[in-house]
Structure 1
Amino acid sequence: MKYLTRVIIILSLPLILGNSCKESAGSIDEGIITYDISYPRPIEDRWMEKLMPSEMEMQFKNNNINTELTFGLGMIKIGYITNTEDKHLHEMLKFMRNRNVSHRGIQQVDDLIADIPAHEIKLLPDTKSIAGYLCHKAEVSVESPETPYTYDLWYTKEIEIKDPNWCTPFKNIPGVLMEYRIERFNVIMHFTAVEVKQTEIADSEFFVPKKYKEISIDAMEKNLRDLKDI
């Protein structure tokens, strides 16, 4: 559990090649993106690797985004709600029966991103289809503390969310991420969109549930650190 909770702390962020593409599915502004999650760099503890998330859903509507990651067979959940126009990020932690939420503005989000290895991004002309959507390529070079590496990121302009990446290391990517990676402390999560479902989303999905108790950012980080001792 100690290794798992360490990975949870470091990966907490609200979440391929080719030149040709299939017919586009068309532009949408409301729905759910389902991402497959893989781990390009092997996790040291094989048992903990099995407890890591293999999928993530992102709901979106009217420039609102709601994502959630589940760890430890559902025992721990970390969720993020943000409105990309007002630039506030609501970070939620559910552990057993305890539910807490903290709120971050632009500066606090920048502090969080500062803990991630530096990213150099180059937009390229290549395109391809992912989950039925026309995607554009970017080359990302990551200054990983273990071994620097470069990979291909893909994004689409056909999902209508304003500034969708404002609270990520990919602020300058002009579209919704369809394939990308996040790394902290030598753990890499690789996200690939496998389905984009156009469906109505209730407005309530973008409000923090009443059961969550508001705490400070420092208190939230302490709660995450305390998981190490479980």
Structure 2
Amino acid sequence: MVSLRTLFFSLIIIVLFSSCTHDNEGVIEYNITYDQSPDDNPLINLMPTSMDFYFKDQKILTQIQGWMGIFKSIQMSDLEDSTNVLMMKLLDKKYYYVRHLRDAPLAFETLNIKNIEYSEKDTLYKGFNCKHAKVYMNDSVATEFDLLYTDEIKIPSPNRNNPFSEIPGVLMQFRMEFKGIPLRLDFKAYRDTVFPETTFAVPSSYKKLSRKEMSDFFNELNAI
């Protein structure tokens, strides 16, 4: 008779080695690059170089760090209770703000997108079949850029807490802005994994803020 212990570890092995099935629990890694060089802007040396996107069932979590670990930002949302949690850390200051997913995001969480046009063109990118879209920004120079996304990684509403919420798939190549500096994010790797429950929980060391308090804190951060 197979013991529960043997069955448990067998199931873990199946999850860890079934990347071709793209299960509902895993992590996506992105590389971050900048249009400016460190010679043009010394701040680039302190900017984030990677982003991690965790998902499990109805939960997703995006994490980005910069300034050699001094700054950390986490977006975490759960479709089961329709909440979104923004966590921000600067040195020893650790705060979080909770909103309903139907509520408007904070101003600094948005991009001023005018329109998104979708294409039927398919591209094989790093092993995934991807669709194309073109994003038109509502700015003074009419910025536009191409975006890649895929539906081969099955995550419900994967862009629910980022500026590309209408994109029907996982982002593979796109652009954002951090402290007023344009950046590009490129899919690096995907792997199935198993997370402890604490991965999607707010640490006890974080203090809860109101909407206004979190906006004020970001303005303080942006002034650095």
TM > 0.5 fold call: yes
Picking from 155, 166, 177, the partner of 1:161 is 155
Matched, 1:123 2:128: no
Q: Which 10-residue stretch deviates more, 53-62 or 121-130?
A: 121-130
Amino-acid identity (%): 28
Name 2:200's counterpart in structure 1.
206
Deviations for 1:153-204, whole angstroms, at most 9, x for unmatched residues? 1111111211111222222211111111124775222111110111112222
Picking from 213, 217, 224, the partner of 1:223 is 217
Picking from 78, 93, 96, the partner of 1:98 is 93
Q: How does 1:1-230 map to 2 (within 5 A)?
A: 25-40=20-35, 46-106=41-101, 108-112=103-107, 116-145=111-140, 147-183=141-177, 187-227=181-221
**CA RMSD in angstroms, aligned pairs only:** 2.6
Give the TM-score normalised by structure 1. 0.79
User: Match for 2:175: what amino acid?
Assistant: R
Do the aligned partners of 1:51 and 1:73 also contact (CA within 8 Å) in 2?
yes
Give the TM-score normalised by structure 2. 0.81
CA distance in 1, matches of 2:163, 2:209: 25
Decide whether aligned partners of structure 1 residues 228 and 29 sit closer, same or farther in structure 2, where only a CA change above 3 A counts. Answer: closer
Do the aligned partners of 1:25 and 1:133 also contact (CA within 8 Å) in 2?
no
Do the aligned partners of 2:22 and 2:192 also contact (CA within 8 Å) in 1?
no
CA distance in 2, matches of 1:216, 1:43: 36
Alignment gaps of 5+ in structure 2: 1-18
Name 2:3's counterpart in structure 1.
none
Name 1:13's counterpart in structure 2.
none
Matched position secondary structure for 1:205 = helix
Decide whether aligned partners of structure 1 residues 114 and 203 sit closer, same or farther in structure 2, where only a CA change above 3 A counts. Answer: closer
Matched position secondary structure for 2:104 = helix
Larger Rg: 2
Name 2:6's counterpart in structure 1.
none
Alignment gaps of 5+ in structure 1: 1-23
Matched position secondary structure for 1:50 = helix
Decide whether aligned partners of structure 1 residues 173 and 115 sit closer, same or farther in structure 2, where only a CA change above 3 A counts. Answer: closer
CA distance in 1, matches of 2:155, 2:103: 22
